[in-house]
């Protein structure tokens, strides 16, 4: 007879992927991945499918690409535009109706915009805030109560180094990612007694279609883009371990540390090289 989720030893619930909510029926736990139709979200879905420990619910706006990813990974496509409050409410409802629970949320949906803040159209400010920050907070709010009831679960938010240190020409994007970081810290403290773990994965530049879609290609020589699969590996580790933060690549933790401990030095370097 399966052991009820509330009776599991907390040590195992924190460290083993099948204990992140696999429970009452003994089936594999369920992970909902947003932004799964391209880029990091696709890489996460493919990596989780290869590991075989999760049942996958996949969200994205591009229905055709989402169907293709779902076919490759054995996931269930749940298309929705998360900027629409009614659509994200339907997504949460459909996810819970389909699988009975959601044990892990990987919030990978996001958009960018590059250029002078003074020239940024007001509607683009609203769009970036709606998708990157507002939609993520609301989706977490819809799904976390079920995880708390199970006394087990994972929330993995895809942040950015831009949210840790700021980036010239990406003021609003950086603000949304900084907001996610503060949200993750606050929620982590709140949920600590519940067995639900909150992780941030903080990549630098990632080799995805993101830059083409934001309207400006990546032109800097450094840092060099990393493949999306490297970010996906960090997401999978976060799901297994529940560790709070993971920088991709790992050396990105150094500029974040410098920004926090010696902000004047960091600003001087950023003005010169950034």
Instruction: Calculate helix-pair angle for 263-273, 253-261, nearest 10 degrees.
Output: 120
Give exposure, 96-125, as e/b (b: 16+ Cβ within 10 Å): beebebbbbbbbbbbbbbbeeeeeeeeebe
- Cβ(55)–Cβ(31) below 8 Å: yes
CA dihedral 254, 248, 155, 36 (to 10 degrees): 150
How buried is 24 (Cβ within 10 angstroms: 0-12 exposed, 13-18 middle, 19+ buried)?
Answer: middle
SS3 content of the chain, % helix, strand, coil (to 5): 55, 15, 30
- Rounded to 5°, angle at Cα 141 from 211 and 156: 50
Check: CB of residue 64 under 8 Å from CB of residue 94: no
Strands 76-77 and 206-207, how do they pair? unpaired
Q: Is 77 helix (H, G, I), strand (E, B) or coil?
A: strand
Task: Kindly state the tokens that stand for 204.
Answer: 């630098």
Q: For residues 121 and 273, what is the distance between their CA atoms, to the nearest angstrom?
A: 28
Of the residues 173, 189, 218, 247, which is catalytic? Answer: 173
Report the distance separating Cα 107 and Cα 89, nearest Å.
Answer: 15
Q: Please check whether residue 32 is in contact with residue 155, taking contact to mean a CB–CB distance below 8 angstroms.
A: no
Among this protein's residues, is 218 annotated catalytic?
no
Catalytic residue numbers, as ranges: 173
């Amino acid at each position: 007879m399966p052991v009820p989720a509330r009776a599991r030893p907390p040590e195992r619930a924190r460290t083993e992927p099948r204990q992140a909510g696999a429970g009452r029926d003994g089936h594999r736990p369920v992970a909902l991945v947003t932004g799964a139709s391209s880029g990091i979200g696709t890489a996460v879905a493919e990596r989780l499918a290869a590991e075989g420990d999760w049942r996958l619910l996949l969200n994205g706006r591009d229905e055709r690409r989402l169907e293709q990813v779902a076919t490759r990974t054995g996931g269930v496509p749940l298309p929705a535009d998360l900027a629409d409050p009614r659509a994200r409410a339907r997504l949460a409802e459909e996810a819970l109706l389909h699988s009975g629970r959601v044990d892990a949320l990987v919030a990978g949906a996001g958009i960018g915009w590059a250029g002078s803040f003074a020239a940024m159209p007001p509607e683009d400010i609203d769009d970036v805030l709606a998708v990157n920050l507002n939609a993520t907070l609301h989706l977490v709010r819809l799904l976390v109560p079920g995880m708390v009831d199970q006394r087990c679960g994972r929330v993995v938010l895809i942040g950015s180094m831009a949210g840790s240190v700021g980036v010239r020409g990406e003021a609003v994007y950086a603000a949304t990612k900084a907001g996610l970081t503060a949200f993750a810290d606050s929620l982590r403290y709140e949920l600590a007694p519940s067995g639900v773990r909150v992780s941030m994965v903080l990549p630098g530049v990632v080799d995805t279609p993101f830059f083409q879609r934001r309207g400006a290609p990546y032109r800097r020589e450094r840092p060099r883009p990393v493949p999306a699969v490297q970010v996906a590996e960090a997401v999978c580790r976060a799901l297994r371990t529940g560790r709070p933060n993971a920088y991709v690549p790992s050396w990105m933790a150094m500029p974040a540390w410098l920004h926090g401990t010696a902000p004047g030095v960091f600003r001087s370097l950023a003005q010169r090289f950034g």
